[in-house]
Amino acid sequence: MQQQLHHHSFDVKISKQPEPDPITSEAERLEALYSYDILDTESDPVFNDLALMAAFVCGTPMSLVSLLDEDRQWSKAMVGLNSREFPREQTFCDTAVQTVGANGVFEVADTINDARFANNALVTGSPHIRFYAGAPLLTPEGYALGTLCAFDTVPRSLTTGQREALRLLARQVMTHLELRRTRLLLEDEREKLEGVIRLANRSGELAPAPARAGIFVKQEQRLTRVATDDLHYVEALGDYVNLYTTRERLTLYGTMKDLETKLAGHDFIRIHRKYIVRLDRIMGIEADMVLLDGATGSGPGRAPVRIPIGSSYKAGLLARLTVI
Separation of alpha carbons 18 and 315, rounded Å: 71
For residue 13, the model assigns a pLDDT of 45
Average pLDDT over residues 250-266: 73
- CATH 2.40.50.1020 placement within the chain: 213-320
H/E element, 262 = helix 256-262
pLDDT band at 240 (very low <50, low <70, confident <90, very high): confident
Q: How many CB atoms lie within 10 A of CB 189?
A: 11
Q: What is the DSSP string of 277-321?
A: EEGGGEEEEETTEEEE-S-TT--TTPPPEEEE--TTTHHHHHHHS
- Report the candidate in 239, 278, 280, 268 with the shortest Cα–Cα distance to residue 256: 239
Indicate the pairing of strand 249-253 with strand 240-245.
antiparallel
Separation of alpha carbons 57 and 6, rounded Å: 10
Greatest extent of the chain over all pairs of C-alpha atoms, in Å: 102
CATH of domain 26-186: 3.30.450.40
pLDDT at 17 over 80: no
For residue 131, the model assigns a pLDDT of 97
- Report the candidate in 48, 50, 49, 56 with the shortest Cα–Cα distance to residue 5: 56
pLDDT at 9 over 60: no
Contact 51, 77 (CB under 8 A): yes
> pLDDT tens across 291-314, in order?
887 655 444 556 788 889 887 778
For residue 211, the model assigns a pLDDT of 46
What DSSP designation does 22 have?
P
Contact 102, 139 (CB under 8 A): no
pLDDT at 127 over 90: yes
CATH of domain 213-320: 2.40.50.1020
pLDDT band at 259 (very low <50, low <70, confident <90, very high): confident
CA atoms within 13 A on the CB side of 290: 28
Separation of alpha carbons 285 and 283, rounded Å: 7
Separation of alpha carbons 62 and 149, rounded Å: 9
Contact 144, 102 (CB under 8 A): no
For residue 87, the model assigns a pLDDT of 93
3-state helix, strand, coil in the chain (%, to 5): 35, 30, 40
For residue 136, the model assigns a pLDDT of 95
CA distances (Å), 49 to each of 7, 54, 176, 220, in order? 17, 9, 12, 33
For residue 46, the model assigns a pLDDT of 95
Amino acid at 198: R
The structure's pTM equals 0.56
170: which residues sit within 8 A by CB, 6+ positions away?
Answer: 135, 136, 137, 138, 147, 148
- CATH 3.30.450.40 placement within the chain: 26-186
